Amino acid sequence: MLRIAFLFALCACASMSTWAQGVLIGRVTSQGKALPFASVYLQDGPLGAAADAEGMYRLNDVPVQTWTAVASMVGYLPLEQRVEVVTQGITVLDFELVTRPEAIEEVVISGTMKEVSKLASPVPVEVYSPAFFQANPTSSMYDALECVNGIRPQMNCAICNTGAIRIQGLEGPYTMVLIDGMPIVSGLGTVYGLNGIPSALIERMEVVKGAASTLYGSEAVGGLINVITKSASNAPSLSVDVFGTTWGEVTADLAASVKIDDKVQGLVGVNAFHFGQRVDDNDDQFTDMPLQDRVSLFNTWSVERKDDRALTLGGRYIFEDRFGGDMDWIEAEHRGGSERYGESIFTQRWEAFGTCQLPTTELLTMQFSANGHRQNSVYGDVSYIAAQRISFGQLTWDKSIGVMHDLLAGAALRHTVYEDNTPATAEGPSEVWLPGLFVQDQVSLNTQNTVLLGMRYDRNSVHGNIVTPRLNYKWNSRDQWTVVRVSAGSGYRVANIFTEDHAALTGARDVVVVSDLNPERSNNLNVNIVRKWIGRRNALVTLDGSAFYTHFSNKILPDYTTDPGQIIYDNLDGFAVSKGVSINVDLAHEDLTLRAGATGMEVFTDQDGTRKRQELTERFSGTWSLSYHIHRWDLTLDYTGSVYSPMDLPTQTTDEFLDPRPAQSPWFSIQNLQLTHGRGHKMEWYGGVKNLLNWTPWQNMPEGVRFLGNTADPFEVDPQEGELVFDPAYVYGPSQGIRGFLGIRVLLK
DSSP string, 540-589: EEEEEEEEEEEEEES-EEEE-SS-TTEEEEEE-SSEEEEEEEEEEEEEEE
Based on the domain organization, do 91 and 206 belong to the same domain?
A: no
Question: Under DSSP, is residue 361 helix (H, G, I), strand (E, B) or coil?
Answer: coil
The pair phi, psi for residue 417, each rounded to 5°, is -125, 125
The verdict on 48 and 195 lying in the same domain is no
Percent of the chain's residues with pLDDT above 70: 88
Task: Give yes or no: residues 113 and 86 share one domain.
Answer: no
Q: Provide the domain limits for residue 456.
A: 107-748
From 53, 73, 99, the end of a domain falls on 99
Q: Give the C-alpha distances (Å, rounded to integers) separating 456 from 188, 223, 642.
A: 25, 16, 37
Domain membership of residue 5 (yes or no) is no
Residue finishing a domain among 80, 99, 118: 99
Q: State the pLDDT at residue 13.
A: 42
Q: Lowest mean pLDDT of 40-49, 297-306, 523-532, name the range.
A: 40-49
Please give the distance of CA 609 from its chain centroid, rounded to a whole number: 34
Pairing of strands 668-677, 683-690: antiparallel
Reported as a pLDDT band with limits 50, 70 and 90, residue 224 is confident
**Residue pLDDT, tens place only, 647-664:** 999 888 777 777 888 999
Rg for the chain, CA atoms, rounded: 29
Hey, is 275 helix, strand or coil?
Answer: strand
Average pLDDT along the chain: 85
DSSP helix, strand, coil percent of the chain (3-state; round to 5): 10, 55, 35
Residue 569, helix vs strand vs coil: strand
DSSP per-residue string spanning 687-748: EEEESTT---GGGGSPTT--TTS-TTSTT--SPPTT-PPP-TT---S-----EEEEEEEEEE
Distance separating alpha carbons of residues 424 and 416, to the nearest angstrom: 15
Same domain, 54 and 131: no
Residue 4 included in any domain: no
User: For 324-357, how does the pLDDT look when each residue is reduced to its tens digit (9 = 90+)?
Assistant: 999 999 999 999 999 999 999 999 999 999 999 9
pLDDT number for residue 1: 45
Which of 170-174, 402-406, 623-627 comes out lowest in average pLDDT? 170-174
> Are the CB atoms for 552 and 251 separated by under 8 Å?
no
Q: What is the pLDDT of residue 515?
A: 60
150 with 167: CB under 8 angstroms? yes
Predicted pLDDT of residue 440: 94
Looking at the DSSP assignment, which residues form a beta bridge with residue 166? 152
Q: Mean pLDDT over residues 237-252, rounded?
A: 96
Same domain, 392 and 525: yes
Both 584 and 443 in one domain: the answer is: yes
Q: Is 73 helix (H, G, I), strand (E, B) or coil?
A: coil
Same domain assignment for residues 550 and 434: yes
Q: Do residues 82 and 124 both lie within one domain?
A: no
Say how far apart CA 173 and CA 734 lie, in whole Å: 20
For residue 145, what are the contacts with CB-CB under 8 A and spacing of at least 6? 151, 152, 153, 165, 194, 225
d(CA 598, CA 621): 6
Mean pLDDT, residues 430-444 taken together: 93
- Going from the C-alpha of 9 to that of each of 5, 63, 87, 88, the distances in angstroms are 6, 21, 20, 21
- Short-list 461, 462, 415, 467, CA closest to 438: 467
CA distance 170 to 618: 11
pLDDT band at 10 (very low <50, low <70, confident <90, very high): very low
Based on the domain organization, do 227 and 80 belong to the same domain?
no
pLDDT digits 0-9 by tens, 705-730: 888 888 888 888 776 666 788 888 88
* CATH number of the domain that residue 290 is part of: 2.40.170.20
Domain boundary (50, 82, 99) is at 99
Paired sense of beta strands 223-229 and 175-179, if any:
parallel
Nearest to 194 by CA among 266, 122, 146: 146
Residue 497 pLDDT: 54
> 125 with 71, same domain?
no
Residue 31: pLDDT band with limits 50, 70, 90: confident
Beta bridge mates, 352 = 315, 370
- By C-alpha distance, which of 375, 440, 411 is closest to 123? 440
Query: Is residue 491 a contact partner of residue 224, using CB atoms and an 8 Å limit?
Result: no
Tell me: do 147 and 93 sit in the same domain. no
Q: What is the CATH number of the domain that holds 25?
A: 2.60.40.10
Q: Is residue 426 in some structural domain?
A: yes
pTM: 0.84
DSSP state of 536: G
Number of domains, the chain: 2
- Give tens-digit pLDDT for 14-27: 444 444 688 899 99
pLDDT higher than threshold 70 for residue 3: no
pLDDT band of 8, cuts 50, 70, 90: very low
Q: How far is residue 498 from each of residues 421, 561, 683, measured CA to CA in Å?
A: 10, 19, 45
> Does residue 463 carry a pLDDT above 90?
no
CA distance 296 to 196: 5
Residues 81 and 111 in one domain: no
Phi, psi of 216 (to 5 degrees): -110, -5
